[in-house]
Chains A and B, each alone.
Chain A
Amino acid sequence: MALLEVNNLCISFGGLRAVDDFHMTIEKGQLYGLIGPNGAGKTTVFNLLTGVYAPNEGRIILDGQDITGHKTIEINQDGIARTFQNIRLFSQMPVIDNVKAALENQYSYSLFDSLTHLGKFRQVEKEITERSMDLLKVFDLDRFAETLASNLPYGQQRKLEIARAMATNPKLLLLDEPAAGMNPNETAELMKTIELIRDKFGITILLIEHDMKLVGGICERLTVLNFGRVLCEGPTKEVLSNPEVIKAYLGDE
């Protein structure tokens, strides 16, 4: 059974059909790419998958469960986590607290314990800190633990966003242009990180990316979106050599 199955997804903004009859099937453990020219509707697909927008039509099935119409918070608990095209960190909080905040639903103690630091506070906080540090180490961010998130270098901010998403223990991770604004070195490092988390956590990843070197280098399958519709879909090599796709990117001659 596929991890994610999307059928006939549609949404319009006013008169604009931003996403039309979108479909996609992602198997467990796959590294899947969603590509397409600017304004094709890629981010809108992410927003539909994560409940930011409710689709006008269509169904989203995650791991056998119909999650269509769930709210953003529920979707995270259903097992989808994401990053954003324009980085959205908790900028006035230390790096480690960005990750701790994402552990919100996995550890609990009462508001009273929070206000007094009594009861389960000490024990649970210790566990939260350990988990967060472990995660930061995976992303080589542990040396920045106490740095304010907004003071991180750009490339590290993107990594922190991924670490934060991973902290929620997702089944499916959505990355919206993770390499945007990175230099080639940072991009190469990022590719390694993405493959590492796929292998280490056995997680399924769907990513949007314009950097064809990255897409060609790590994605196993691709879906190409053009003007809100699926242009083609298949193994990376085939898709990237498809004349239709090349035309969509280069425009009509």
Chain B
Amino acid sequence: MTDKILKAMTPKRKTAVNGKSPAMTYFVVLAAYAVLELCIKTGIMSSHLQGLLVPMVYYAIVAVGLNICVGILGELSLGHAGFMCIGAFGSAVFSLLTDGVLPDGLRFLLAFLVGVALATLFGFLIGIPVLRLNGDYLAIVTLAFGEIIKNLLNALYLGIDENGLHASLSNQMALGLSPDGKMLINGAMGVSGTPHDANFTISMVVLLIALFLAQNLVHSKHGRAIMAIRDNRIAAESIGINIVRYKMQAFTISAAIAGAAGVLFSHNISTLQASSQYFGYNVSIMILVYVVLGGIGNLRGSVIAASILYLLPELLRGLNKYRMLIYSIVLIVVMIFNWAPAAIAWRENLAAKFKAARKENV
């Protein structure tokens, strides 16, 4: 059923969505970076808005990750906030453990790798049983996974002292930390004191790397196999494509990218809590909305949709009463622009005209 829904949600186009030129995507991201950076440097941008930039970018990154799963592989995941959560907590704990021990740059680089590795591992572990099945199991299992991870981390107490790591699921006292021990995860209070290693520039670099990997994947042998499975599993099998292997690869990469966004999350916030507001299923669904509105399988669209749809409600805070109204209207307009056959035809016509004009100029 999932594939039918996803198919119904994929607009009929003349050309492959994934065929979009990768160079253009990097250009859009770099141009946006230059403009925003200029606004910061010249002091035009309010500090409130500046504070929204890093979250905007990490949501764009998760959206790219989720689009690999939903758009390229054609499997629905409702637990990408869970992978983000794992990346966030894993890297935050690592940073706390090594704070003051390692030089800042190296510490963040390693924390980044730890967060990504953990998310990859969990993606792999979930994939092993679920991706062997054909059906809607992934959506259900990832939904449960996201909630379990969040609740588990909410109840987890983790500390370290000279005797090593102590963990408990009941309370802080049960850890029995010695006086000079250090709390790492304090139950629902979460992780505090993670160094602020993430900033706008670093986040943009991570976004570019994620886009680079994702777009390269699409235009490669592995990507073709993954998309072949998406388009027709039975035909893919008939030409000797190993279904489970490629599904695992796509899903694991997708989880890894969500983990990378999580690392940026935890290194941009003073107190990291596994609350529903940040890592609940509603967040997973919000990311899915970015992907759907940006265009399933359209990586550049994911970045643009995530950025606009994340910033919009925040920017509209001043308009209190009308805020959600305007937000809804924008959702509908974007939906129509992206999905209505007439709008697609119009856009493709326009693009063709541009191309023709450019040829004439040369």
Q: B240 near A114 (CB under 8 angstroms)?
A: no
Contacts of A158 in B (CB 8 A): none
- Verify B232–A90 contact, CB threshold 8 A: yes
Residues of A within 8 A of B237 (CB): 72-73, 76
Chain B binding surface, main DSSP class? helix
Return the chain B residue nearest A114 by Cβ.
Answer: B220
Closest to A151 in B: B14
User: With A and B bound together, what is the CA distance between A50 and B240 in angstroms?
Assistant: 11
- B113 at the binding interface (Cβ < 8 Å): no
Q: Does B234 contact A (CB under 8 A)?
A: yes
Q: Contact size class for B?
A: 35 or more
Q: Are B217 and A114 in contact (CB under 8 A)?
A: yes
Measured CB to CB, the nearest residue on chain A to B230 is A92
A116 within 8 A of B: yes
Q: Please, what's the 1-or-0 string for A167-197, where 1 marks a CB less than 8 Å from any CB in chain B?
A: 1100000000000000000000000000000
Q: What 1/0 mask marks residues of chain B from 56 to 92 whose CB sits below 8 Å from any chain A CB?
A: 0000000000000000000000000000000000000
B224: chain A residues at CB < 8 Å are 93, 97, 100-101, 104
Please name the residue on chain A nearest to B231 by beta carbon: A90
Q: Report B1 CB to chain A, min CB distance, Å.
A: 19
Contact among B15, B19, B232, B241 with A91 in the assembled complex (CB-CB below 8 Å)? B232
Per-position 1/0 for A8-48, Cβ under 8 A of B: 00000000000000000000000000000000000000000
Chain B residues positioned under 8 Å from A200 (CB to CB): none
| A155 is an interface residue with CB less than 8 A from chain B | no
Binary interface encoding of chain A residues 106-136 relative to chain B, with 1 for a CB under 8 A from any of its CBs, else 0: 0111010111110001001100100000000
* B341–chain A nearest beta-carbon distance, Å: 14
Considering the chains assembled together, what is the distance between the CA atoms of A91 and B242 in angstroms?
A: 19
Given A72, A94, A164, which contacts B16 in the complex, CB threshold below 8 Å? A94
Mark out the residues of chain B between 294 and 343 whose CB falls within 8 Å of any chain A CB in the assembled complex: 297
Q: Does B160 lie at the interface of the complex (its beta carbon under 8 Å from any beta carbon of A)?
A: no
Nearest neighbor of B22 in chain A, beta-carbon distance: A117
Contact indicator per residue, chain A 204-218, by CB within 8 Å of chain B (1) or not (0): 000000000000000
Q: Please report the C-alpha to C-alpha distance between residue A86 and residue B232 in the assembled complex, in whole angstroms.
A: 12
- The chain B residue with its CB closest to the CB of A108 is B221
Cross-chain contact B228 with A90 (CB below 8 angstroms): yes
CB A57 to nearest CB in B, in angstroms, measures: 24
When A and B form their complex, which 5 residue pairs have the shortest distance between CB atoms, in order from nearest?
A: A114-B220, A76-B240, A90-B231, A88-B235, A114-B222
Chain B residues within CB distance 8 Å of chain A: 10, 12-17, 19, 212-213, 216-217, 219-225, 227-228, 230-232, 234-243, 249, 253, 297
17 contacts between A and B (CB under 8 A): A76-B239, A76-B240, A88-B235, A90-B236, A92-B16, A92-B17, A92-B230, A92-B231, A98-B228, A101-B227, A101-B241, A116-B213, A117-B220, A124-B221, A150-B12, A151-B14, A164-B239
